Amino acid sequence: MRSLAFILIFTGVVVFSSNNANAQCKNFAKRVCRLELSPFIHDGNYNAAILTEGEDAELFKTFYAGQEYRIAVCGSESLPKVEFKVMDVERRVLFTNASKDYVPFWDFKVEATQQLIIMVKVLDNPGGSDPDMLASGCVAIMFGLKAN
Amino acid sequence: MSKRVLADNIKWLIGSTLILFLLGCSSESSRKDRIEVDASEISSQELAKEGIQTARQIFYSLPSPLETAMILKRSGAQYNEELLNPVDNASKYTTNKSMALNLGIYSTDLSYASLFDQTQASIKYMAVSKRMAEGLGILNAIDNTIVQRLEENVNNREAIMDIISESLLNTSSILEEDDRVAIGSVILVGGWIEGLYIATSLVDDVKQADNELVDRIIDQKLSLSTVVNLLEQHKDNSDVNEVLGDIKALAAVYEKIQISFSGVEAVEQEGQTTVLRSKNVVSVNPTVFNELRNKVASIRTKYIM
């Protein structure tokens, strides 16, 4: 009986903490990261995940000729700096915010329609408040469109 | 069961719940948990790297209904209300799959109407999108305040676009939160097909030089791989798998269209937006274009029923 109760509680706690983290991530994306897109209009898509120090994620998206875009990449306060790179399909780096003091957004337009890869990485922070612990938190990647 | 055994079990349950709750709430993991590999164990290190790469989170982002509508307008498309999915069709959509596809379709229709300042159509399509979202159990995605704000801002296009963007974000984030990402991908594909349907229906003369609308339709070949990858991630869901079949049939037509790419170069100019310079060379003949138009129309007809 104890084993069954343990499994039930464990599953419940995992589901609860995962839902709670997702809810926090949703609020962070809506209330913090979306504001970074202004004066561009957010495209409405939601791309966010919980990442830990040293972890990275990639996003594939097609960008259309003539449209001006803003990419905003935001990490929650609990995280160290978040680096983002924009690469072409051959993974040649076209932009990195590491050379711009980790600015959280970048504006650009494409002459011809292109599929690009956005790579985000939470930097290691061995000098953090607790050197034995890895910080984790929400990272959101959002896209803004300049109105016609 | 004696009272003592019951009391012991309750204490044990409370104790384990508290411990697990505290573990679950921790936002940090131990730095010591990381595997440290010395230089002599290079093969293990490579294996570990491979493991990290496999576990890396990958997102596939499709053009949203709002972006699709903006691309249409920028390409010189005209407004034609006859192309939209009539709101009266909404009563036909009773399954999760049909509601999800048509939430995407109606969201693109809403965005398209709004960008062309069609206020009555915008209000009508926001209401029907709300109905589809509620049918899918996404009750707060488009609430009454969103509809009310839309009605109050009918003459302010930017405010309307912001309201549409907010409702799209609510929908996708609630689905993610509820672990229903698969259904979110079906919504996006519905919206994408509707954009393609409107665009292909508006092309009169495919042979006309510098037809920007034709160029943007051909460009969708690039988004098509994203659509396929997105759906492949959730193909164990039967609704997604059915939609994937339709998209693969569309991909077979797109295979007949050739696009060649030059390298991309980022050109940064002081005080100006960075431009990614490149050139695409496209080759499509009218027969293939008509085949594409017919395929898109048949998929869309199947979706709106």
Which chain B residue has its CA at the smallest distance from A42's CA? B165
Domains held by chain B: number: 1
pLDDT digits (tens, 9 = 90+) for B218-241: 999 999 999 999 999 999 999 999
Long-range contacts of the stretch A2-10 (C-beta < 8 A, 24+): A2/B9, A2/B12, A5/B9, A5/B12, A5/B13, A5/B16, A6/B16, A9/B13, A9/B16, A9/B17, A9/B20, A10/B20
* Least confident span in A14-18, B121-125, B175-179, B263-267: A14-18
* B271 and chain A in contact, CB less than 8 A: no
Q: Write the ipTM.
A: 0.88
Instruction: Show residues of chain B in contact with A126, CB under 8 Å.
Output: 31
What are the structure tokens assigned to B72, written together? 């249409």
Which residues, including other chains, have CB under 8 Å from residue B230's CB and lie 6 or more apart? B60, B62, B185, B188, B189
> Does residue B1 lie within any of the structural domains?
no
Which chain B residue has its CA at the smallest distance from A144's CA? B67
The Cα–Cα gap between B273 and B286 comes to 36
* B229 and chain A in contact, CB less than 8 A: yes
Would you give the distance in Å from CA B140 to the centre of its chain? 19
> Does residue B271 lie within any of the structural domains?
yes
* B205 and chain A in contact, CB less than 8 A: no
∠ CA A88-A92-A98 to the nearest 5 degrees? 105
Q: Do A5 and B273 touch (CB under 8 A)?
A: no
> Does residue B31 lie within any of the structural domains?
no
What are the structure tokens assigned to B135, written together? 């049918």
More confident residue, A147 or B38: A147
pLDDT at res. B132: 98
Q: Is the peptide bond before B86 cis (omega within 30 degrees of 0)?
A: no
Which chain B residue has its CA at the smallest distance from A126's CA? B31
Distances in Å between the Cα of B218 and the Cα atoms of A111, B35, B186 are: 15, 47, 22
Residue carrying structure tokens 């109050």: B152
* Least confident span in A18-32, A63-77, B26-40, B56-70: B26-40
Which chain B residue has its CA at the smallest distance from A115's CA? B222
What are the structure tokens assigned to B43, written together? 């093969």
> Does residue B53 lie within any of the structural domains?
no
pLDDT digits (tens, 9 = 90+) for B174-195: 999 999 999 999 999 999 999 9
> Does residue B21 lie within any of the structural domains?
no
**Is B84 within 8 Å of B127 (Cβ atoms)?**
no
**Is A143 within 8 Å of A105 (Cβ atoms)?**
no
pLDDT at res. B36: 46
* B213 and chain A in contact, CB less than 8 A: no
> Does residue B27 lie within any of the structural domains?
no
* B150 and chain A in contact, CB less than 8 A: no
> Does residue B12 lie within any of the structural domains?
no
Q: How far is A44 from chain B (nearest CA, A)?
A: 4
> From the candidates B11, B117, B165, which should be mutated to test the interface with A, based on the most A CB atoms within 10 A?
B165
In the stretch 17-36 of chain B, residues with CB closer than 8 A to chain A read 17, 20-21, 23-25, 27-34
> Does residue B274 lie within any of the structural domains?
yes
At residue B249, the 3 state secondary structure works out as helix
Q: Do A136 and B27 touch (CB under 8 A)?
A: yes
User: Dihedrals φ, ψ of B29, to 5°?
Assistant: -120, 160
pLDDT at res. A126: 76
**Is A39 within 8 Å of A97 (Cβ atoms)?**
no
Q: What is the set of domains in chain A, with CATH numbers?
A: 2-145 (2.60.120)
Instruction: Show residues of chain A in contact with B33, CB under 8 Å.
Output: 134
Whole-structure pTM value? 0.86
- Using alpha carbons, select from B86, B204, B107 the residue that is nearest to residue A44: B107
Does B20 score more than 50 pLDDT? no
Query: Residue B241 sits in which domain range?
Result: 65-304
Alpha helices in chain B (DSSP H): 3-25, 42-55, 65-74, 96-115, 119-135, 144-152, 157-177, 181-202, 212-232, 238-254, 286-304
